[in-house]
Amino acid sequence: MASKVGEKSISAYGEARSTVEGKPLDAETIRKMNAWFRASMYLCLGMLYLRDNPLLKEPLKLEHLKARLLGHWGSDAGQSFTWMHMNRLIKKYNLDVLFVSGPGHGAPGIISQSYLEGVYSEVYPDKGEDTEGMTKFFKQFSFPGGIGSHATPETPGSIHEGGELGYSLSHAFGTVFDNPNLITLTMVGDGESETGPLATSWHSTKFLNPINDGAVLPVLHLNGYKINNPTVLARISHDELTSLLVGYGWKPYFVEGSDLDSMHQAMAITLEQCVTEIKEHQKKARETKTPFRPRWPMIVLRTPKGWSAPREVDGHLLEGFWRAHQIPITDVRTNPAHLKVLETWMRAYKPEELFDENGTLIQELKELAPTGNSRISANPVGNGGLLRRPLHIPDFREYGFKDIDAGLTIKGGMANMAKFLRDVVAQNMNNFRLFGPDETESNKLSEVYKAGKKVWMGDYFEEDKDGGNLSPDGRVMEILSEHTCEGWLEGYILSGRHGLLNSYEPFIHVIDSMVNQHCKWIEKCLEVEWRARVSSLNILITATVWRQDHNGFTHQDPGFLDVVANKSPEVVRIYLPPDGNTLLSVMDHCLRSVNYVNVIVADKQEHIQFLDMDAAVAHCTKGLGIWDWASNDQGAEPDIVMASCGDVSTHEALAATALLREYLPQLKVRFVNVVDLFRLISAIHHPHGMSDKRWKSIFTVDKPIIFNFHSYPWLIHRLTYKRPGQHNLHVRGYKEKGNIDTPFELAMRNDTDRYSLAMAAIDLIQTLGNSAAGVREKLYNEQLAAKSEAFDNGVDPEHIRNWKWPFPKE
């Protein structure tokens, strides 16, 4: 029988100790659960070691083993144990449950459950429920041509690989927002708990509305060790750990021990207590229509690392120690004694009692699992594209700026696009959310609050009524953690919904690796036949580098584009709309897309507008093109091609073009703008790329090209590698030069200002010779004067600040 959690002992061994006491299971149920547990552990070991002889019908030999032993054992038992106990409650209460594995390296524990439930063999018929299928099932794990060692996209029911640690809770909460019947059971590793993202994501309950949302049930798995070190949370007292979790707003229930029979009783009654409390909180909120923030239940499960392995091998600790983390016995191919230890260990699970002669799980154990889509690994939420419905999107053209005078009209494109987002929210109140780390207002998107305010389940103050825009049933998710916002959004879209993250450009780097992991997830999903397509991960980057003059050097870094550009061309897209109407066109396109990571870069301040709506749509459709109204080479060969990508970069490139046309009217200047960055790549290497023929027609092969780019210039050189005439391409961009500057001084520091561009053009046009030396000197003097004005008065000259395109549109 389970006893109360001790005040001092934090051992994982002994009879069960639990916060909740009781014996809800009869002896027969415990016998069957023990058998299911043995079957789970047997399958886990088989995945790690075997390529043949799956049921050990003959003595274990070297030829039955994989040549390379890869995978993790340490957390498999705890995860399988938790899953099987939730199965009982799914059947009892007809629950809708998803499982998220934080320690996804313990994938054998997850995959074994899918196989025992019968889902795996349904999804992969060649891995059938027989001896031949089990052989293939074992062999494929961590094997060339097979599957990876984590809860990868090939794993039925998985939305979270768990390779890079820290995101399990934020992903889990993303799945339950607007999903009122779902419980996402989340295994949180004690090693994972030491990461910053995981630590912050405990606060997600402050944004969970029990009326409209489902619930996350975390199981903090204290198995005590990481790869080679103890874990922090497993080595502190019950009081200290309880205080930590209570401080986060949770109600922790402890289940601890290693004796299987008593642990079944303790876990059964504790898990049922948690589910009961969840349902009671939801019932109260929904019946009274009064949202409140309960103290949600969670479980602290303390079991030995590598539970059910031999305690020692050759006098060295295995179970309950760090050696159980990965392959528990590594030298079975070279050490006959250890091969025998492995065989004895595997036979101790008595596979002959669990599987029949054909290798099929016996019927009484099959009956422990739910059926149909109630099986955790068959839950459609785990393949969210099946549940995805297209957004209801208003016609973005209706929000466009009218009566645009190219290069003259000044308006705020971001604030205007927010009106479009407002109505997207209004028309998709249960299917779309906007996410951001406390920057939505700053990023000029506050118009969205008219459709849905910011979710807030914490306390309210009177002053919140004065522009706080807080609501328990809002549609905007803000917490000052880029990790948590990104995790919520990923969980939200992977479970079949839609969303957008807005963030400052300098700090989007905080989630570099998260976006990297999501890109890899989506790329793998493209290879998995049964994975339905999910909404794209849309990231709106603003507060851009060229308007971070006031915050200084630390806030100037546009390098997120380099991170994204490294990912697969099948997955990533980067757009830099030059004005408000192109921003609307790009946003509409991205919100409709699936299975991409879309990055949109646009400044939030007012800027000169260039294209009416028809021209903007045509330009975005092409991805790049010549702007005739800004060029004067019609019907002739240009002397120089001035190209730009990015709103501020386009502004300066146009101003440079105007200077050249004003001071050297005989020059023929072609102006090119790029909105879809990957149009620069060859069509051979990217689906958005263009042919060399089209490249030559736009950029020429023998004329100098000055390309003013929003980000680091070397990215353009990478993307245009081996293009015809590439040696004529001269790229300007951010060169890691900055301080507390004026906007124009920042451009001058990095040679992206109009004067630097115009002087560079003069230097590159060989036909000018020395004839333009006077013009060049004049440009240089004007540049020095602008710098002097900035240093003397702290602002840019009026003619720089208020510049407009000087030539009439023909």
Instruction: Provide the residue range defining the domain that includes 594.
Output: 396-478+495-506+527-607
Assess contact for 299 and 271: CB atoms under 8 A. Answer: yes
Pairing relationship of beta strands 624-626 and 669-674 according to DSSP bridges: antiparallel
Report the 10 Å Cβ neighbour count for 687.
10
750 shares a domain with 713? yes
402 shares a domain with 359? no
Position 487 in a domain:
no
709 shares a domain with 653? yes
DSSP-derived secondary structure letter, 547: G
* Residue 679, phi then psi, degrees to nearest 5: -65, -20
pLDDT of residue 1: 44
DSSP letter string, 682-734: BTTT-TT-B-HHHHHHHH-SSS-EEEEESS-THHHHHHTTT-TTGGGEEEE--
Closest C-alpha to 216, from 484, 511, 433: 484
Task: Give the distance from CA 359 to its chain's centroid.
Answer: 39
Euclidean distance between CA atoms 580 and 77, whole angstroms: 55
DSSP-derived secondary structure letter, 732: E
Beta-bridge partners for 573: 598
CATH of the domain at 751: 3.40.50.920
Residue recorded with tokens 């009274």: 288
317 shares a domain with 253? yes
Position 375 in a domain:
yes
E-assigned strand segments in 311-365: 312-313, 316-317
453 shares a domain with 421? yes
Euclidean distance between CA atoms 543 and 219, whole angstroms: 39
Joined together, the tokens standing for residue 90 give 């799914």
Burial status of residue 612 (CB atoms within 10 A of its CB: 0-12, 13-18, 19 or more): middle
Position 187 in a domain:
yes
How long, in residues, is the chain?
810
351 shares a domain with 408? no
Closest C-alpha to 198, from 103, 293, 278, 99: 103
Euclidean distance between CA atoms 178 and 173, whole angstroms: 10
474 shares a domain with 365? no
Euclidean distance between CA atoms 650 and 671, whole angstroms: 10
Joined together, the tokens standing for residue 362 give 């016996």
Joined together, the tokens standing for residue 503 give 């963030």
Final residue in a domain of this structure, among 331, 352, 379: 379
Pairing relationship of beta strands 705-709 and 729-732 according to DSSP bridges: parallel
Closest C-alpha to 169, from 248, 283, 114: 248
431 shares a domain with 364? no
Pairing relationship of beta strands 312-313 and 432-436 according to DSSP bridges: unpaired
Assess contact for 120 and 47: CB atoms under 8 A. Answer: no
CA-based R_g, the chain, Å:
31
Position 651 in a domain:
yes
566 shares a domain with 649? no
- Angle among Cα 129, 110, 102 to the nearest 5 degrees reads 170
pLDDT of residue 7: 58
Final residue in a domain of this structure, among 352, 379, 406: 379
The tens digit of pLDDT for each residue in 144-197 reads 999 999 999 999 999 999 989 999 999 999 999 999 999 999 999 999 999 999
Joined together, the tokens standing for residue 753 give 């200002």
Number of domains, the chain: 3
Q: Please name the amino acid found at residue 788.
A: S
Q: Which residues of the chain have pLDDT under 70?
A: 1-7, 810
Q: Give whole-number Cα distances, 764 to 233, 632, 642, 713, in Å.
A: 64, 18, 12, 18
Euclidean distance between CA atoms 801 and 803, whole angstroms: 6
Position 297 in a domain:
yes
Position 211 in a domain:
yes
Q: Give whole-number Cα distances, 311 to 60, 122, 191, 322, 345, in Å.
A: 21, 37, 22, 12, 11
Q: Give whole-number Cα distances, 45 to 246, 326, 336, 346, 419, in Å.
A: 37, 11, 18, 7, 56
Position 21 in a domain:
yes
Counts for the chain of helices (H) and strands (E), in that order: 25, 23
647 shares a domain with 598? no
CATH of the domain at 74: 3.40.50.970
Pairing relationship of beta strands 498-504 and 454-455 according to DSSP bridges: unpaired
Position 8 in a domain:
no
53 shares a domain with 130? yes
Beta-bridge partners for 115: none
Beta-bridge partners for 766: none
23 shares a domain with 114? yes
Q: Please name the amino acid found at residue 308.
A: S
pLDDT of residue 808: 84
Final residue in a domain of this structure, among 575, 607, 639: 607
Euclidean distance between CA atoms 379 and 480, whole angstroms: 32
Residue recorded with tokens 């998220």: 100
Predicted model pTM: 0.96
